[in-house]
Amino acid sequence: MRYLIEPFGSPFMQRALAEALLLGAVAAVVSVFVVLRRLAFVSDVLTHTVFPGVVIGFVVAGTGGIVWGALVFAVLSAVLITVLAARSRVTEDASMAIVLTGFFAVGVVLVSRQTSFTSDLTAFLFGRILTVDRQQLVMTAVLGAAVLLLLGLLGKELLFRAFDPAGAEARGYRVLVLDLVLNLAVALVVVAAVRAVGTVLVIALLVVPGAAGRLLSDRLAGIALVAVGTALLAGWLGLVASWQASVNHELRLASGATVVLVLVLLYGAAAGIAALRKVRT
Amino acid sequence: MSEPLLVFDHASLAYGRTTAVEDVHGAVLSGQSVALIGPNGAGKSTLLRSVLGLVDVVAGRIEVLGTTPVRARREVAYVPQVDTLDAQFPVSVRQVVLMGRYRDVGWLRRPSPRDRAIADEALDAVGLAARREDRFGMLSGGQQQRVLLARAIAQQPRLLLLDEPFNGVDAVSQQALLAALRRLRDGGAAVVVSTHDLALAHLACDEVCLLNKHQVAFGPTDETLTPHLLRAAYGGQALELAGDNVIVAR
Amino acid sequence: MGLRGVAVAVAAGAIALLACAPGGGEQRPDSGAALDVVATTPVLADFVRNVGGDRVHLVQILKPGVDPHDYEASPADIQAIADADLVVENGVGLEAAWLDDTVAAADYHGQVVDGSRGVTILAGTGEESRDPHIWHDPANARIMVGDIAAALAAKDPAGTAGAERNAAGYDAKLAALDVENKAAIGTIPATQRKLVTNHDAFGYYCARYGITFVGSIIPSFDTSAELSGNEVSDLVAEIRRTGVRAVFSESSLPPKTAETVAREAGVQVVEGEDTLYADGLGPVGSPGGTYLSAERHNTATIVKALGGRV
């Protein structure tokens, strides 16, 4: 037990933990919807389209500008994706893939024009959770609160649309607007995650918790509970593993990536439990 | 008193540039039920959606509950086909029926105890109160259809639109559906139900609207479900048997 | 109901977390030695060891072969800085991409010794204004050692005498290295004193010993940029034009591009065991394990490849 607590004696580890837990919990709630609406690919597209915003924000206003650049592109992307998905039913995958790669390439090109950029690039892609400061924590909390508020207020309508889009439309709900809201929620999580786990790894937080929850529960509340629990556990254990490996075994395990790895392992455990249940019934 | 809850006044419906259904003309009165009959692709779903204000009316007019389809939406309930839904979705039967109350609950608010009571009553009306906590997808097709009807009932509508609710539905569920529909009509609501089942139409509906991209006929069931008119609607797909019996292919 | 409850619990937990998350400094444990010093680069670490000796408990952040321009600090690194009495950096922007954030995260408010204080900084060839690879000129190394000795003495007055003695001894060795280098490079035919390296790390070395820097595979002081097609052919043309005999790869970068350019230009590529130590040192016990041995290795390799006598 001491093994699991001792990493968090220092402030930087405490901040990293706070960030991981905050981000994980919010992303987990969103991931429930992502899984129910089968938005994993759309979410992946959003992680790539936010990236050029990160770069532009950095170029214009330094590290402080990252979140604002990301925010602008998050909103733009959410709108673009929603419109694209509504229009092209058959070739939805293709047009999304084009948007994904196009935006991401723009970001990479912009980055490559800066000479001293690789370490910042890897920071944007994979995060630097150990150097999260108080200000970033507050930003994560604010964005997280906005997301939870959005989902909380519109939860029942989002559920209705997810379950029965035709019925929702017949009832007079604008499916396009509801979809935009959800895509925006995903995009905001990506923005919140940029500094901590980066745009490449955040997709794991947006998909795996919900997927694990779906494996273990048939009720919405149950799924959400498992999702949040999994994300919190992964954040905690991932940081423990990364710290213990570094401090006691001189083994480098990038912290953000280790959290994601633990998350995936937990999913594996959930799959195992689900399979056992099936066998026993 | 029998007031017209739904009026088609030589209405033609189109998706963008393509006209889907032409010249629909007739009325559905309070307490009445009308069967919408025609081959696949005849425009039955389109007609139902136009009553909801989701399809453009390019000629003539549709009047719902004395006003436009969009304005009347609050009191119009739509029951889609069950197979459009994801059977794995993690909602309970009760939660599905409660969805019928959402519009009345409004944005940003939660369903009240009264809403839940209405939902439970509606579920009772289709005979599935016992399955309340089960996951929706665990029910049979017919039972799921009844749940969707309950959802519509929970809306407390004055006009009810059903899209082929009897497809592949077992006898028990069919009876339950018919019973619930009858109770709604007794309460003054009007019902429009699209179906392929001619026997059912004879049994449960006062009037029939025969469609095949245009209106073939709209009148009392006995007068409309004649071999002659059915052949006109179904083309070569109607087969006449002895006497007045006609089988139609889908 | 359920979903909302979960969301509320999450929100409550988040608020609680935020309230508890600390902003700043706590107490540091002690290693037992008189001074806990953290040095960023292997070269600096070597200097600190030589000057501080037993009185210093040293943690070296960048291990051999690791790129100093682009580094993600590990928990152990941050912990070490948090516990340190003194942090020593190279300065001139070498660690700019990561050190400030790391020091902030560690809540370290002590002194960060700038090893480049007093060193004349050379301007760059590319867009960057200041070349950080100051240590390849032994004269600069002597200044850096002086800075370190002063800082150690200030922090640990009881060890001043020892530090000064060590520094003086090491300074003599650096002076000797400088003389050796001059002599060795003197044996290279004058027309051959031209250098093409993997990245632009030898500016100070070339300036000190009168070597012409023809160009580098990566046209910048740090390791992030890539040569465009034009730049590669320009470099190859330049190599042919100036008659440079060899292209040198280095220990912390993959040799592929250097090999390619050398092949195109028809000249030798110096790699493998003969790789230059450009951004740091080699593992302990290897030819590049200490500053002195690494610099000697660099000079010997360059001189041999360019036709001098070693």
Answer yes or no: do C101 and A128 touch at CB < 8 A: yes
Which residue among A164, A170, A223 sits closest to B90, beta carbon to beta carbon? A223
B99 shares contact with chain A (CB less than 8 Å): yes
Torsion angles phi and psi, residue C111, rounded to 5: -80, 135
pLDDT tens figures, C61-104: 999 888 887 788 999 999 999 999 999 999 988 888 889 999 99
B223 Cβ contact list (under 8 Å, min separation 6):
none
| Alpha helix positions (H), B9-112 | 44-51, 69-72, 93-99, 102-105
Sign of CA dihedral C232, C234, C238, C241: positive
Beta bridge partners of C58: C37
Of all residues in chain B, the one with the smallest CA distance to A149 is B108
**Do the beta carbons of residue C88 and residue C40 sit within 8 Å?**
yes
| pLDDT in the model for residue A125 | 87
B186 shares contact with chain A (CB less than 8 Å): no
Answer yes or no: do A219 and B90 touch at CB < 8 A: yes
pTM of the model: 0.87
What is the token pair recorded at C84? 């340190």
In angstroms, the separation between the Cα of residue A10 and the nearest Cα of chain B is 42
Query: Treating both helix axes as pointing N-terminal to C-terminal, what angle do A92-113 and A66-87 enclose, rounded to 10 degrees?
Result: 160
Q: What type of residue is A25?
A: A
| pLDDT in the model for residue C24 | 46
Give the whole-angstrom CA distance, residue A179 versus residue A85: 9
| pLDDT in the model for residue B234 | 82
Question: How many beta-carbon contacts under 8 Å exist across A and C?
Answer: 145
Give the whole-angstrom CA distance, residue C225 versus residue A111: 10
Of C294, C305, C275, whose CA–CA distance to C177 is shortest? C294
What is the token pair recorded at A85? 């998905």
C101 shares contact with chain A (CB less than 8 Å): yes
Give the whole-angstrom CA distance, residue A114 versus residue B143: 63
For residue C108, list chain A residues with Cβ-Cβ distance below 8 A: none
- Residue B29 per-residue DSSP state: E
The subunits that touch chain B, with at least 3 C-beta pairs less than 8 Å apart, are A
Count the helix, strand and coil residues of chain C and give each as a percent rounded to the nearest 5.
50, 15, 40
| pLDDT in the model for residue C265 | 86
B105 shares contact with chain A (CB less than 8 Å): yes
What is the token pair recorded at C167? 């520094």
Count the helix, strand and coil residues of chain A and give each as a percent rounded to the nearest 5.
90, 0, 10
Residue ranges for chain B with pLDDT beneath 50: none
- Write the ipTM: 0.89
| Alpha helix positions (H), chain C | 2-20, 42-52, 75-82, 99-105, 138-155, 160-186, 203-209, 229-242, 256-265, 291-305
Q: What type of residue is A151?
A: L
| Alpha helix positions (H), B20-66 | 44-51
Opening angle at CA B246, ends B245 and B247, nearest 5? 130
**Could you read off the pLDDT tens digit of each residue along chain A, which spans 281 residues?**
888 999 999 999 999 999 999 999 999 999 999 999 999 988 999 999 999 998 899 888 887 888 899 999 999 999 998 888 887 665 567 888 888 899 989 888 887 776 556 667 788 888 899 999 999 999 999 999 999 999 999 999 999 999 999 999 999 999 999 999 999 999 999 999 988 889 888 999 999 999 999 999 999 999 999 999 999 999 999 999 999 999 999 899 999 999 999 999 999 999 999 999 988 87
Which residue among A156, A157, A164 sits closest to B85, beta carbon to beta carbon? A164
| pLDDT in the model for residue A138 | 94
Which residue among C2, C13, C222 sits closest to A224, beta carbon to beta carbon? C2
| pLDDT in the model for residue C150 | 94
B135 shares contact with chain A (CB less than 8 Å): yes
In angstroms, the separation between the Cα of residue A121 and the nearest Cα of chain C is 10
Beta bridge partners of B238: B248
Give the whole-angstrom CA distance, residue C310 versus residue C306: 11
- Residue C41 per-residue DSSP state: S
- Strands B18-29 and B190-194 turn out to be unpaired
Q: What is the mean pLDDT of chain C?
A: 85
Answer yes or no: do A218 and B107 touch at CB < 8 A: no
What is the 3 state secondary structure string of C110-125?
Answer: CEEEECCCCCCCCECC
| pLDDT in the model for residue C15 | 65
Give the whole-angstrom CA distance, residue A169 versus residue C262: 67
Sign of CA dihedral A100, A106, A110, A111: positive
Give the whole-angstrom CA distance, residue C81 versus residue C110: 10
Residue ranges for chain C with pLDDT beneath 70: 1-32, 124-128, 219-228
Of B77, B31, B27, B1, whose CA–CA distance to B185 is shortest? B31
